[in-house]
Amino acid sequence: MSTLADLKRRVYSVLRDSEKSFVADQDVEDLLNEASLDLSARLRLLRKQVASTTSATGTVTLPTDFIEPVWFSVLPDSTADMQEVVEFVDDAVFDSWRLGEGIPPRQLARVFGGVIETYPVVVSLAYTLRYVYTPAILDSVADLAAVPAELQVRLVNYARAHCKYKEGELEEGDRYLALYEAGLPGPPTSGRRERPGPFNLFPATGYWDVEVDG
């Protein structure tokens, strides 16, 4: 695994600014941390599990390093041996059941307002949450990069790209940025927190879309 010092050395190895008078150390550190967060979110790299008890209102406060949920379960009752897996749904589905006071076929949850809400509300019951989390900030030369070793070259190429842009070498910047982006899924948006699962839009049927028999 590479340390922050290793990553910075690799970035500077291709720059003209050997005196570090134009591209400062802090600039490179910031870029490496940006890339680490971006990769972790795009590829859902870093995951952890926490367990506790739902609140008196059936909510779970999101961890401070939370990006998105992976798996969430609650105990159906205090004597149960098996955990019931909760299905994350978007606001429309969640509110349709909650406002209609119906009983869904599965326990539902959504991420809203910094908490996980449940429906039907599960009050003061044990839960387990697995989620994608943000990587620790690299700010000491001995800090180890959190992303896997095979992806650390992407951190370096991201930083190289933006440093080349600062040096006015736009083509070189584009080349390193292309190496960083190659094969990656698109960057996530914060909407992923609020709309877990597939999200599809279908156009409304127009006049000319009416089927005609025969």
pLDDT over threshold 90, residue 127? yes
pLDDT band at 16 (very low <50, low <70, confident <90, very high): confident
pLDDT over threshold 90, residue 132? yes
Least-confidence region, from 3-17, 77-91, 103-117, 166-180: 77-91
Reduced to 3 states, what is the DSSP secondary structure of residue 33? helix
Mean pLDDT, the chain, whole residue set: 87
pLDDT band at 211 (very low <50, low <70, confident <90, very high): low
pLDDT at 136: 95
CA distances from 81 to 55, 76, 77, 85, 86 (A): 21, 9, 9, 13, 16
pLDDT over threshold 50, residue 200? no
pLDDT band at 80 (very low <50, low <70, confident <90, very high): low
Amino acid letter, 108? L
Q: Report whether 196 contacts 109 (CB < 8 A).
A: no
pLDDT band at 29 (very low <50, low <70, confident <90, very high): very high
Retrieve residue 167's tokens.
Answer: 């040096």
Instruction: Tell me the average pLDDT across 51-63.
Output: 95
Phi, psi (deg, nearest 5) at residue 117: -95, 150
Q: Spell out the domain ranges in the chain.
A: 4-44+135-188, 47-133
147-178, pLDDT tens digit by residue?
999 999 999 999 999 999 999 999 999 999 99
The residues, ordered by sequence, that sit 6+ positions from 79 with a Cβ below 8 Å of its Cβ are: none
Instruction: Tell me the average pLDDT across 17-36.
Output: 89
Share of the chain above pLDDT 70, in %: 85
Q: Which residue has the tokens 């999200």?
A: 199
Rounded CA-CA distance 129/69 in Å is: 7
Phi, psi (deg, nearest 5) at residue 133: -125, 160
pLDDT band at 120 (very low <50, low <70, confident <90, very high): very high
pLDDT over threshold 90, residue 201? no
